[in-house]
Structure 1
Amino acid sequence: MPRRVIITCALTGAGDTAGRNENVPVTPEEIAADAIAAARAGASIVHIHVRDPQTTLGSREVAHYREVVRIVRASDVDPVLNLTAGMGGDLVLDPQRPTTQQEGTDLVNATDRLPHVEELLPEICTIDCGSLNFGEGSNLYVSTPDMLREGAARIQQLGVKPEMEIFDTGNLWFANVLVEEGLIDPPPMYQLCMGIPYGAPADPGLLQAMVHMLPAGAEFTSFALGRNQLPWAARSVLAGGHVRVGLEDNLYLSKGVKATNAQLTERAVGLVESLGENVATPDEAREILDLTVQVPSGGEGARG
């Protein structure tokens, strides 16, 4: 019997990519428009970062999230909203004086990464399950066990489903600890992030090993970066998981051809169907993940 496969479209991310593809959405209006287009193309979930419209770089500004969510909820589509809660973990050190923070540092505590989640109550938000040497240079992503327990407890209190972002096997080990400690409600939702320097390599054998580490009843997606995005989507489906595509992770439809989020979503729909599976509707995704509708402060419904 065909399985229902959830497609997530990760719309924009926080990387310095806007100058490399003019289709990367930057303003709240552009991000919301892409969310709506991706949902029309078949995305069950839209994963949302926001950017500073002046610099085009990633932002934690609650007003930008508020506007994106307002527009999407007022539209004629109803995708599951997944807001990042990973911003605020960047630590850039002077390698010669490692007690000195450099430009680019944006480091706050666990609950200060959540004001937009507290206000808007999306159905899902992310929680990055460990610290990481993030690429070359001296940029660290910081997410300690104490921070993670505090953040997970607050997200659970809000009634929001955490998507646990897994960048390496140690992250997965600790995510399983969060599940064991009762800080993650069932079914736990894992995102296996492959090929991000210097986390887990995009290696099929490693993906299979990580899938074997998941607890019973878990739901997972796995993605890989760049030209690996669509082939890896197939690997994720074949491993029993769901799919993530979008301009956060890949800027091209094919060699030299710049993509849009809707185009990448359409490719993912075709891929899932070619493997004999069905694409989950947003409401089917809610059923699979056991999502609960929340009511944001001010009384406005969480889904419009």
Structure 2
Amino acid sequence: MNKKVILSCALTGAGDTTTKSAHVPVTPKEIADSAIKAAKAGATIAHIHVRDPETGKLSHDVNLFQEVVERIRESETDVIINLTSGGGGDWIPSDEDPTKGGEGTDIQTPEERHEPIGKLLPEMCTLDCGSINFGDMLYVSPTDWLRKQAKLVKESGVKAELECFDTGHVRFANQLIEEGLIEGDPLFQFCLGIPWGAAADAETMAYMKSRIPENAKWAAFGIGRMQMPIVAESLLQGGNIRVGLEDNLYLKKGQLATNEQLVDKAVGIVHSLGSDIMTPAEAREHLNLLNPYGREG
């Protein structure tokens, strides 16, 4: 069991959740404010997507990412910034012509996915390590694209968080490491419970953990009602943890949550099991990160 864990808060995500909860942050100010509140509640890392302020839908606008990052930095709140580089990967076949993308399809090139990372140089970014049936759509992240992205992330000096939604993703992440596209001690994130990826249970977590290099760091999260059980299980198995409205909207059955409430609940679980949360400064040393302004620290 970890005596000190890194706690990530995934603030808003890309899903159609803004119609389900008024607590999901949408504008850059709301997202930044939510990151600051989550940090004050105990989050080590703020994981950031952005949304169109007018529609609440997913956006890839680098200017929106920049506003969020600048607002957090200008607040002088100490939290590690982790930007998504998942970008546009949604493929929904057209009913009329299944060889073409239908309504809701949103595909970006590796270079486009990397643009916010290369411009803003956060301390961390995610790297989704494969394609998957994601509910009723296909998330597209081909291996050659991922090699390009991993190379771009490496050249930028940003720490890649290797997002693994299924066991095959762990295999390919290991291949990226073997090819020298991931430097230093790798960092894995096991994304559990997504239909139709890896299950959110102790056995699946243990298997994925068993397949990573000895020098790797890792974390896990579950979605929906499995968010808090996976917090406890990851801690017990020696991993780090993640909560937030990207993955779960409820504090308990029937009660919508805020990000800071989810962080506070996770902190309580960690403390109840006799562990504690790493500060951002401790996590930077543990993960060998750049500081928020791009200098070694």
Same fold (TM over 0.5): yes
1:4 deviates by: 1.8
User: In the alignment, is the contact (CA less than 8 A) between 1:122 and 1:302 conserved in 2?
Assistant: no
1:112 deviates by: 1.1
User: In the alignment, is the contact (CA less than 8 A) between 1:121 and 1:302 conserved in 2?
Assistant: no
SS in structure 1 of the partner of residue 99 of structure 2:
strand
1:76 deviates by: 3.2
1:8-19 equivalence runs, <5 A: 8-19=8-19
Q: Deviations 1:268-303 (Å, cap 9, x if unpaired)?
A: 11111111112100011111111023656xxxx899
User: In the alignment, is the contact (CA less than 8 A) between 1:294 and 1:302 conserved in 2?
Assistant: no
1:72 deviates by: 0.2
1:94 deviates by: 2.1
Counterparts of 1:141 and 1:151, CA distance in 2: 16
1:73 deviates by: 0.1
1:29-108 equivalence runs, <5 A: 29-94=29-94, 97-108=97-108
Counterparts of 1:198 and 1:39, CA distance in 2: 31
SS in structure 1 of the partner of residue 98 of structure 2:
strand
AA in 1 matched with 2:50? V
Counterparts of 1:12 and 1:256, CA distance in 2: 20
2:255 equivalent among 257, 260, 263: 257
1:1-304 equivalence runs, <5 A: 3-94=3-94, 97-136=97-136, 139-293=137-291, 295=293
AA in 1 matched with 2:284? R
1:97 deviates by: 2.6
Q: What's the Cα RMSD here? A: 1.6
Counterparts of 1:8 and 1:200, CA distance in 2: 20
AA in 1 matched with 2:103? E
User: In the alignment, is the contact (CA less than 8 A) between 2:50 and 2:59 conserved in 1?
Assistant: yes
- Segments of 5+ residues of structure 2 without an aligned counterpart are none
Counterparts of 1:198 and 1:252, CA distance in 2: 22
103-112 or 79-88: which moved more? 103-112
1:92 deviates by: 1.4
SS in structure 2 of the partner of residue 94 of structure 1:
coil
AA in 1 matched with 2:172? F
Counterparts of 1:160 and 1:84, CA distance in 2: 12
1:87 deviates by: 1.4
Q: Deviations 1:241-285 (Å, cap 9, x if unpaired)?
A: 001000000000011111000010011111111111121000111
User: In the alignment, is the contact (CA less than 8 A) between 2:110 and 2:145 conserved in 1?
Assistant: yes
43-52 or 177-186: which moved more? 177-186
User: In the alignment, is the contact (CA less than 8 A) between 2:80 and 2:292 conserved in 1?
Assistant: no
AA in 1 matched with 2:253? K
User: In the alignment, is the contact (CA less than 8 A) between 2:284 and 2:291 conserved in 1?
Assistant: no
- Segments of 5+ residues of structure 1 without an aligned counterpart are none
SS in structure 2 of the partner of residue 90 of structure 1:
strand
100-109 or 154-163: which moved more? 100-109
AA in 2 matched with 1:56? G
Counterparts of 1:79 and 1:142, CA distance in 2: 30
1:78 deviates by: 1.3
Identity of aligned residues (%): 51
User: In the alignment, is the contact (CA less than 8 A) between 2:84 and 2:125 conserved in 1?
Assistant: yes
**TM-score normalized with structure 1 length:** 0.94
